[in-house]
Structure 1
Amino acid sequence: MNPGFDVAAASRAYLDLLSGPARAASDAYFEGGYWLIGWNALVAVLVYGIVLATGWSARWRDWAERRTRRRWLVPAWYALPFGLVTSAMLLPWSIYTDFVREHQYGLSNQTFAAWAGDAAMLLAIGLIINAIVFVALFAALRRFARMWWIWGTLGTVAAMLVAVAVTPVFIAPLFNTYSELPAGPLRDRIVAVARAQGIPADHIYVSDASRQTKRISANVSGLGPTIRITLNDNLLNRTTPDEVVAVMGHEMGHYVLHHIWWLVAEFAAVVAALLFAASRIGPWLIRRNPRWGVRDLADPAATPVLLGLIAVGALVMEPVKNTIIRHNESAADAFGLDAARQPDAFAMTAIRLSEYRKLEPSPVEEALFFDHPSGATRIRMAMQWKKDHVPGATIVRPAKPAAGDGAR
């Protein structure tokens, strides 16, 4: 312990690094995201409402039924026009939120052509996944009637686990190139921390995320044989070696603390609540609107009803989701400080992340809208750790980070 170390003053030395126009831009970007949560739900409900009101959904079901004599395959055929048309309807909104807005705040490196290429790839993947999910979902709806939401939840859990396992190996490489981190002092430091925590470190990958974004990021992803350590090139190029190690300590915390399993279990409860609500409200909506041409909830044409209800439910559950993730992120922060022992580097990383996350929100804002601890919370945690664990700790007067600073 260092009774003379002032945690508040040490934290303020970092918090004051982000000020003036830079802080105003960060606050505006993140606060705008509060509204986007609501607008995303409203736009989704509007699109699904149009699909129902025009009778398109019923016509797509009829078309799918003509394509196959196998009833279980009808939802897969229905998924094709549903996915294509709704994606086209949502495209203007997607262009604004994912491309225009990111460029307005200087966070994207992509040309529109590159962004559109990635979006088209996501659509193609989504069409395949939707076909599989729709087949499973409507099989459960037909077979289990009022209790289908339980099987839907179990299916969602299975799908999440499969996604965690296969995404690093089969999906992520479709969008970025992954190469081994070159041998050298930085790799040696990461390997030493990983092995000290019992994490496989035979392969450490670097992704070329800078082709898309300016954000720094890293993760320990996968399950079983697909587990891998990955950091993006922005982290390498925009931060110091100490900061890289601090970030990797945090990411390793997710692995050691089994956060993948905890998140799957916790989100299963959220999914169960959403599907249960949809199972009770959906049939009532269908009975009240015969003009939609939807027979019942087990009809593939009911897809917009289910997704619209889930969109509204997800909006209501947003603070719950954020709290679940934020709790795990805070635990990983504490683990990372113990593992990497780089409190000042961790604090500086929090400043860099605050380029697009509001640095000092009110407690209510942080509770409702933050799925990670705020920069201020993380910096205070780092300085408290420094006071508790670094003999003779002194307050650092950090230099304001300049664009391009980083490890080489």
Structure 2
Amino acid sequence: MSWWVAATTLLAFVVVAALVVPWDWVPGGRVVPVSADELLTPAQLARAEDYATAQRHLSWASLALSLAVALWLGLTTLGARLVAWLRGPWWWRAALGSALVLLAGLLATVPLRLMIRANAVEAGLSTQTLGPWTRDVAVSFAVSWVYAAVVVLLVVGTARRLPRTWPAVVGAVAAALVVAGSWAYPVLVEPLFNDFEPLPDGELRTAVLELADREDVDVSQVLVADASRRTTTLNAWVSGLGGTRRVVLYDTLVDDVPQDEALTIVAHELAHAREHDVALGTTLAALGVGFGVGVLGLLLGSERLLRRSGAGGAARPEVAALVLALTAAGTLLASPVENAVSRSIEARADRVALQATGDEAAFEAMQVRLATRSLADPDPPALSQWWFGSHPTLVQRVGLGRGVLEAGRDAAGRP
């Protein structure tokens, strides 16, 4: 059964990704080579590289440490003995055990998290004092625990009732929960971190509505997030499905950026909405989760692994630490595929935005502004970008924009 679940969902993922993901960043053209020193001054380049390198290494260390803790608890008997020590019904021990495993990882990485925060504060990117920052960490932990507990309870509860077919049932239910979560995320999770207000009437809103008409997108939900209480960086996003779909702009973007540049970001987000990128990402995520459940079923069928972990089987709450360890490892291993898809989707949104606005100068200026405000490395190490980069780099985005214009000139027969 686990083989069947893994094989069918993997096949479906490959078919959808091959047919629907826009792998060609510049159809009929190319990404024009661009060097970072064409876009940034030597001082800007040095500052961005120094900051990004420090944060990247700290983030890698934090990820490695949290994964090591998860594997230590999950692949030894320690995690199972911790859950067995708890008292109460199986579902309570599974849920509370999940919280303790996650808490161990969080506490181990607190010093690194504080160093990452300190760097951001020193660089002027973070406006949060320690109290609000701690509150955000706590809320993020609570959200992560809910996700983790749902996974563990779903596996254990289903395996208790359907010991032979639980991977198929869990895979289907987990995929459905991914879709439901994508729909509910904007109304349940995003408000935990930001307050939102409609984009106020004025010149920018009028321009946004005109741009939406050109892109044939319904923008009944264009919101502004109070991001300035947390950061000085610029950002925007689109989230939700159906009635919960919304375009969100940072208030820093609305307040601090020239309108022509802000509109290139809005056009980018509208492109995501027009191309139904949230639905595409949700579909691929649901199939990916189904594949992950199939692999999990295969691993939990290994007597050697169960003995090593002391879990006893998928139907026992003591399996919680092992499930979370395997999930953490699987998530890391899946990152290159996930981010390759994300970069291609983001590249299409850039291309559509440029075509919608027709303002190459504003597009390029906005990409430089985004990078300099966040001190992003304009051209990070290839392995880092391949594994962790969810968006094209600065040099890639500018090269993409120039490639779109070059392809347009070639199509029109102009020099």
What is the TM-score of this pair, normalised by structure 2? Answer: 0.79
Aligned partner of 1:383 in structure 2 is: 402
2:316 to 293, 299, 303: 299
Q: Hey, what does 2:218 align to over in structure 1?
A: 200
Corresponding position: 1:55 with 2:72:
no
Cα displacement string for residues 234-282 of structure 1 (whole angstroms, at most 9, x for unaligned residues): 1123321011110111111111111112212323444344444433344
Alignment correspondent of 1:246: 264
Contact residue 44 and residue 308 of structure 1 kept, 8 A: no
Task: Go from structure 1 to structure 2 and tell me whether the alpha carbon gap of 1:241 and 1:15 turns closer, same or farther (over 3 Å shift).
Answer: farther
The question of 1:94 aligning with 2:113 is answered yes
Judged with a 3 Å threshold, the aligned counterparts in structure 2 of structure 1 residues 368 and 41 are, in CA distance, closer, same or farther, namely closer
Which residue is 1:339 aligned to?
A: 356
Matching residue of 1:406: none
Write out aligned runs for 1:178-193 (5 A): 178-193=196-211
**1:325 and 1:371 in contact (8 A); partners too:** yes
Encode CA deviations 1:31-60: one digit per residue, 9 max, x unaligned: 456545653443123322454557354343
The SS at the match of 1:48 is helix
Aligned to 2:88: 67
The answer for the alignment partner of 1:172 in structure 2 is 190
Which ranges of structure 2 fall in alignment gaps of 5 or more residues? 1-30, 410-415
- Aligned-residue offset at 1:286: 3.4
What displacement does 1:143 show? 4.3
Classify the secondary structure of the residue corresponding to 1:108.
Answer: coil
**Match of residue 311 from structure 1:** 328
Whether 2:237 is the aligned partner of 1:219: answer yes
Amino acid at match of 2:392: P
With over 3 angstroms needed to count, the CA separation of the structure-2 counterparts of 1:37 and 1:133, relative to structure 1, is same
How far, CA to CA, are the matches of 2:316 and 2:41 in structure 1? 55
* Cα contact 2:32–2:400 (8 A) shared by 1: no
Deviation at 1:110, TM superposition (A): 0.9
Query: In structure 2, do the counterparts of structure 1 residues 100 and 275 end up closer, same or farther at CA, with 3 Å as the change threshold?
Result: farther
Structure with more relative contact order (C-alpha pairs < 8 Å, separation 6 or more): 2
Provide the residue aligned with 1:45 in structure 2: 67
Distance 1:59 1:203, change over 3 A: closer
2:15 paired residue number? none
Identify if the C-alpha distance between structure 1 residues 32 and 239 changes in structure 2 by more than 3 Å, giving closer, same or farther. Answer: same
3-state SS, counterpart of residue 354 of structure 1: helix
Structure 2: distance between partners of 1:47 and 1:8: 43
Whole-angstrom distance in 1 between the partners of 2:383 and 2:196: 39
| CA contact 2:98–2:320 (8 Å) conserved in 1 | no
1:319 and 1:243 mapped to 2: Cα distance? 31
Number of residue pairs aligned between Structure 1 and Structure 2: 376
Give the 3-state SS of the residue equivalent to 1:382 in structure 2.
helix
SS in 1 for 2:127: coil
Deviation per residue, 1:178-202 (Å, 9 max, x gap): 1122211111010111233332223
Q: Do the aligned partners of residues 293 and 317 (structure 1) sit closer, same or farther apart at CA in structure 2, a change above 3 Å counting?
A: closer
1:78, 1:366 → 2: CA distance?
35
Q: Secondary structure at the match of 2:363?
A: helix
Q: Match of 2:189, SS?
A: helix
CA gap of 1:137–1:101, structure 2 versus 1, over 3 A, is farther
Q: Deviations for 1:143-166, whole angstroms, at most 9, x for unmatched residues?
A: 454654444443333333223222
RMSD between superposed Cα atoms in Å: 3.1
Instruction: Supply the AA of the counterpart residue of 1:331.
Output: R
Deviates more, 1:262-271 or 1:299-308: 262-271
Q: What is the alpha-carbon distance in structure 2 between the residues aligned to residue 146 and residue 76 of structure 1?
A: 23
Cα separation, partners in 2 of 1:308 and 1:56, compared to 1, 3 Å: closer
TM-score where L is the length of structure 1: 0.80
Question: What fraction of aligned residue pairs are identical, expressed as a percent?
Answer: 25
SS of 2:297 mapped into structure 1: helix
Per-residue Cα deviation, 1:283-308 (whole angstroms, up to 9, x for no partner): 3553442xx54212332222222222
- 1:136-151 counterparts in 2 under 5 A? 136-145=154-163, 148-151=166-169
- Paired residues for 1:231-380 under 5 Å: 231-282=249-300, 283-284=302-303, 286-289=305-308, 292-355=309-372, 356-361=375-380, 366-380=385-399
Aligned counterpart, 1:76: 95
Task: Tell me how far 1:232 sits from its aligned partner.
Answer: 0.5
| Worse-matched range after superposition: 222-231 or 146-155 | 146-155
Give the SS at the match of 1:67.
coil
